DNA sequence: TAATTTTGCAAAATCGTTTTAGAAGTGTAA
DNA sequence: TTACACTTCTAAAACGATTTTGCAAAATTA
């Protein structure tokens, strides 16, 4: 079945296609189309089941009203919620979002930027994987609207919005200290990304502020490429090799989940044998007895701010915007695990 | 910064834009373009950082190489995995996927179909919300490629692929009987959708096969619109009012998760006080002590089959395809909760 | 040498819109 | 009668690609 175009409507209504376009875009008044003609066109269009071809519109106007969102892994609840919130937010501005995952792989990230460019997205929201500096810098140089989220690249002149990682970890550490824990291990990932470094910095800073000497043996950097089981084993051996540990701080939710499995495997009790706190909240943390204390990122605020910044750039492509650097506060959710 | 078009490349290389197109599409040989010209064009295109405008290509060729995927809720891990698998599968065929959620709301579903149509997707993968019959039937009538997943609408002449729900529940029930449980409650949702009815049918069928009389008091239909807390309370009162219950069968993973919360609230022990089994697997079920038995859908097989069916229709738009009705077997994952 | 075929590319049509410029027709005033 | 201003709509260009057709020059054949 052929689709109906504006031309078909025009010939059916006995007018020019420009007239149809004016009417359908509500410019009938402005273009002084008579009410008679307007009604007829509207009628015909409705009966024919006409809907506009967005591709043609975008091609002609040069605006696709679409944003590209590149996250690390859409399967992770944090990014999934972020994506959904961003989508809802963008809808307010009349924009659609297409999203995709890098899996923290720079070459996949490069491909995705390419793909989005080809599809003529109006702006980019990116959680950059390591080594994506060059590709993102290129976007910036071409004056494409770009906002980085969740992390940033110091070398790139792009606006970013993220949680105040160091501050958030410090807050969590303060809570642990207040509960009397002193021997606190830190489990992070071996990825060379800004936000992970900031979290580790938060940990180190909190220790030194409390006057506790840094013990590198109880900082574990799990290789990102490790399989689930290898990682669980790694965390388990950290616990076995350091029986003095009173608490474990996980730098991200999926590490926390792996940690729960390790602790479970060692038949240790939370919080009696080991206290647990994790960055990024998760359904499991709310549910897993006795409830896992976590640091909840202000996902909604991040999404809102990021979209707002991007929109500003999109709607105003002439002027160059100063790089905005936004850091938002996290929220500590205290549960039974500490 | 202006984008470079094929015309720009043409004038830079001193050739016609058609020539550029031929070269870039690898048709140089076929169109008898000399190697000299081919090399020059390639060189110029590379240096200028040219990339094609997908919108223009789609408009001209009439193929967007994009599929529309409409799920119930992309936030749910089942749909998220399904979406991701479908995306990977579609990539094999050179197609992109744009996905969106209905939240089980027919009018939102209608809007989404509209949006996807305007964006000229080549085919539709849909988990239909109740009352979407008409809109989907219309797609079918317009001979658009459509495949329904996870559920189907008896009134609509569209292919579908889903898990064998009744059979899967029967399998779960058989396991419960084998473990000696007789008093088994069933918690489902009050939505009027095919797959939920099939699951309930599976439950009822299993009982009658076992010679157990149906007790409607221990079948709970949680209203879909209930808030988290209301639902938890509802399930808790089911347990309180029916102390004879030995096991609870949850018809979907998010109900199962709510159920865990209810059980937790009542301080009942799994499986000593109450055994638990849930449809659809989830991270939490693997982790939550003592592990929750669940029925895992063959997500990968569903995705593969659905995409394959859709591709067949897309690549072959002339012929009308017979409605394919595919039902796949689920896998019972036995854990400590039963 | 003339006719024919092949080569190598250019021109133009096309996809479905938007948008600018302007063409008829009518009315009004000088 | 002419000039001018409205009113109402149309024609055509443009967006950036693909694809069909066209056509001159070179090469081949008769």
Tokens of A270: 């939370």
Integer Cα distance of A127 and A107 in angstroms:
14
Q: What is the domain count for chain B?
A: 3
- Do A107 and A205 lie in one domain? The reply is no
**Do the domain assignments include residue B189?**
yes
Q: What is the mean pLDDT of residues A56-61?
A: 97
A·B CB contacts under 8 A:
79
Question: Domain check: are A114 and A217 in the same one?
Answer: no
What counts of helices (H) and strands (E) characterise chain B?
13, 12
A54 touches strand C (CB under 7 A): no
Does the pLDDT at position A280 exceed 90? yes
Residue B334 inside a domain? The answer is no
Q: Which of A56, A59, A84, A320 to mutate to test the interface with B (most CBs of B within 10 A)?
A: A59
Burial of B130: CB neighbours in 10 Å, binned 0-12, 13-18, 19+? middle
- Say yes or no: B189 and B281 in one domain: yes
Q: Which of A20, B177, B249 is nearest to B235 (CA)?
A: B249
pLDDT digit string, tens, across residues A224-247: 999 999 999 999 999 999 999 999
CB contact under 8 A, A264 and B289: yes
Interchain CB distance below 8 Å, B64 and A55:
yes
Distance between start and end Cα atoms, chain A: 64
Q: What's the pLDDT score for residue A1?
A: 66
B56 touches strand D (CB under 7 A): yes
Q: Could you report the per-residue pLDDT of B69-111, keeping only the tens digit for each? A: 999 988 888 998 999 999 999 999 999 999 899 999 999 999 9
Check residues 57 to 76 of chain B and report those whose beta carbon is under 7 Å from nucleic acid strand C.
Answer: 59-60, 62
User: Considering the domain boundaries, does residue A242 fall inside one?
Assistant: yes
**Alpha-carbon gap: A247 to the closest alpha carbon of chain B (Å):** 20
Please give, rounded to a whole number of angstroms, the shortest distance from the CA of A204 to a CA of chain B: 31
Does B1 have pLDDT greater than 70?
Answer: no
Residue ranges of B 37-96 with Cβ closer than 8 A to chain A: 51-56, 58-59, 64, 74-75, 77, 80-81, 84, 96
Q: Give one DSSP letter per residue of B254-305, joined into a string.
A: HHHHHHHHHHHHTTPPTTTT-EEEEES--HHHHHSTT--EEEE--HHHHHHH
B119 touches chain A (CB under 8 A): yes
* Rounded Cα distance, B185 and B167, in Å: 18
Parent domain of B260:
165-296
Asked whether the predicted pLDDT for residue B2 surpasses 90, the reply is no
| Complete DSSP assignment for B48-115 | HT----HHHHHHHHS---EEEEEES-TTSHHHHHHHHHHHHHHHHTT-EEEEEE-TT-HHHHHHHHHH
A1 domain-assigned: no
Q: Quick check: is B247 in a domain?
A: yes
- Asked if A132 and A172 sit in the same domain, the reply is no
CA distance A165 to B204: 52
**CATH at B29:** 1.10.260.40
DSSP A138: H
The per-residue pLDDT of chain B, averaged, comes to 94
Does B228 contact A at CB distance below 8 Å?
no
Taking only the tens place, the pLDDT of each residue in B12-52 is 999 999 999 999 999 999 999 999 999 999 999 999 999 99
| Domain presence at residue B232 | yes
- Do residues B170 and B252 both lie within one domain? yes
The Cα B115–Cα B155 span in angstroms is 24
Tokens representing B336 are 């400590």
Residues 32-61 of A with CB under 7 A from strand D: 32-34, 36-37, 56, 59-60
Mind listing the pLDDT tens digit for each residue in B47-67? 999 999 999 999 999 999 999
User: Quick one: pLDDT band at residue A77, thresholds 50, 70, 90?
Assistant: confident
Q: What is the DSSP letter of A3?
A: P
Query: Is A84 in Cβ contact with B80 (below 8 Å)?
Result: no
Is B186 found in the same domain as B276? yes
């Amino acid at each position: 079945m052929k689709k109906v175009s504006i031309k078909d409507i025009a010939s059916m209504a006995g007018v020019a296609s420009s007239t149809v376009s004016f009417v359908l875009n509500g410019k009938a008044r402005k273009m002084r189309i008579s009410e008679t003609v307007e009604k007829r066109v509207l009628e015909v269009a409705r009966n024919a089941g006409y809907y506009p071809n967005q591709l043609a519109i975008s091609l002609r106007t040069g605006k696709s009203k679409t944003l590209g969102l590149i996250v690390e892994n859409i399967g992770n609840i944090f990014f999934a919620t972020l994506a959904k919130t961003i989508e809802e937010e963008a809808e307010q501005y009349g924009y659609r979002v297409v999203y995709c995952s890098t899996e923290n792989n720079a070459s996949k990230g490069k491909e995705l930027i390419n793909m989005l460019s080809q599809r003529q997205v109006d702006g980019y929201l990116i959680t950059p994987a390591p080594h994506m500096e060059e590709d993102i810098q290129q976007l910036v140089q071409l004056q494409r609207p770009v906002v980085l989220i969740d992390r940033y690249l110091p070398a790139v002149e792009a606006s970013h919005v993220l949680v105040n990682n160091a501050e958030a970890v410090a807050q969590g550490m303060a809570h642990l200290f207040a509960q009397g824990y002193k021997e606190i291990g830190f489990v992070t990932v071996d990825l060379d990304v800004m936000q992970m470094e900031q979290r580790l910095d938060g940990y180190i800073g909190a220790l030194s502020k409390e006057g506790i000497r840094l013990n590198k043996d109880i900082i574990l950097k799990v290789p990102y490429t490790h399989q689930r089981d290898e990682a669980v084993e790694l965390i388990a051996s950290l616990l076995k090799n350091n029986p003095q540990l009173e608490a474990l701080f996980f730098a991200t939710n999926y590490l926390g989940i792996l940690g729960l499995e390790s602790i479970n495997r060692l038949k240790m009790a939370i919080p009696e044998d080991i206290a647990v706190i994790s960055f990024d909240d998760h359904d499991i943390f709310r549910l897993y007895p006795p409830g896992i204390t976590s640091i909840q990122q202000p996902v909604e605020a991040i999404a809102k701010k990021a979209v707002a910044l991007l929109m500003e750039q999109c709607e105003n492509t002439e002027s160059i915007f100063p790089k905005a650097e936004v850091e938002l506060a996290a929220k500590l959710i205290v549960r039974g695990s500490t």
